[in-house]
Structure 1
Amino acid sequence: MSLSIATWNVNSARQRAGHIAAFLDRVRPDLLLLQEIKCEAKAFPAEAFAQAGYGAEIVGQKAYNGVAVLSRVPVRVTERALPGLDPALAEQARYIEVETRGVRVGNLYLPNGNSGGEAGYEGKLAWMGALADHAQRLLDEDVDLVLAGDYNVCPEDVDFAPRTLPAGDALIRDQTRAAFRRLIWLGLTDALRAVQPGGPAYTFWDYQAGCWPQDRGLRIDHALLSPRLAERLESVRIERDERAAEQPSDHVPVVVTLGDQPQ
């Protein structure tokens, strides 16, 4: 059976509830992974999405962070935090994982790493290390796996427009990129680069400095697929038009479609 998964950092689920509901009506993904919902579960606008036929699983936090999975197919929650994290990092609402149709789907909001000095950056690397360790365990168990969300990583220079990031930014530091490559070397496939091997394909445009009208963007929202799922990959679509909406998020959705499971 096919499976469509969208990921979107909405930069406040309550402020963007109308945008999310319209997207669900128009695109109808099986799963919508939301990041930076910026609210606790009790304040999440689940009813607005229930009217579109979507249930909600939420890991929230007041005013900051927060992730949620909206689904129109049955899901089972397998994790509500990333295993293996230091308690100070684990208390941040940045990870939820569900299983549906035999596929494990991790929804992640990785730390930016530019705040808090070197300690903040070390936290980013620790988070990425725990993610790789968790992915390795699941792959060792032969689990079909998708890890999607806001990675806050530009894997290559082509993934950010010239002059959008200063040298030494946490999104492009050598250690950051090495940590991302570790995920790829486990055997995961960058879905977008599987269908578009080269060229800019931005998913984020800052609100400042005319970044959207000048198309000065970043590619920091990714979906990584385990080997069997990479073989089922049919398409990856970046919903650029969402950035042109009134009061948009600074990110846009990325929609990944997996074909039927081979018999």
Structure 2
Amino acid sequence: MKSIIEAHLKPKLHPVALLRSDVRPDENLQPKMGKYVCIMTMFAQVSAHGKTAVFDRNTYGCPGASAGLGFGSVYPSAMGGLDTFEAFFSKGIYSAKNPEAYQQMIDNAPKHMVNKLTVGEKFHATPEKAHRWMTEELPLYNFKEKYRILKPLSQVSEEETPESIIFVVNPLQLSALITLAGSIHDGLMDIMAPQGAACQMIGAYVFQQAESPQPRPVLGLTDLAARKHVRKTLPQDTLTLSMPWKLYLQYENAAEDGIFSSPLWEDML
């Protein structure tokens, strides 16, 4: 599938499409069953090298990605449940409701996780705020299709309809996309930049925007944990801007005679 926006941006990294399907693609990257991994490492391979990645209910990578990809939330059941994640996302053992049980989990954790579990990721100031985010604020979906597929937008067929289109951009390219969005949106919120995991910023939050009467693109890869995993594949100045399919089509139409034909963009190039 050809993209007017991609033709103007001339990105070094492939724009990526996220699709739901009951058909598993051949020759793809996929996490091993039961293995916790950051799926953004596979996203990076899709964007940087044109690979295809696939996930299902047994190979979604980590609890955050289950929610991010629309397989439902496993926060209440994984790793000791919500109490564990409340502490992990805030201030670690110092936020734990049951410090003894939390310490036992730390003692049994892989070496690379010990310090993060002990200190906490500090994405939320309090465990109560982390709880609200998991149970009330994070948009949760449980779609019926077996698979979620990530592949370059250029490899999407005319018969396919992606759920999310993800541009992987540097600051100049992001500036152009925000300007493009602002050129057609009313109001001042041209994009949204939510708290969450990088996979949720290309998935769950985009699914939510697709249902909004005034959808907005979602700024992502602001998740420091994910950035650590992709830093060997994606440039350090990279961010994602993701949008529902219908919003992408609006932007494609606006790009025909929008910011990319402005002298400002031509001067920057």
Q: How high is the TM-score relative to the length of structure 2? A: 0.29
Higher relative contact order structure (alpha carbons within 8 Å, sequence separation ≥ 6):
2
The structure where helix makes up a greater share of residues is 2
The structure where strand makes up a greater share of residues is 1
Q: How high is the TM-score relative to the length of structure 1? A: 0.29
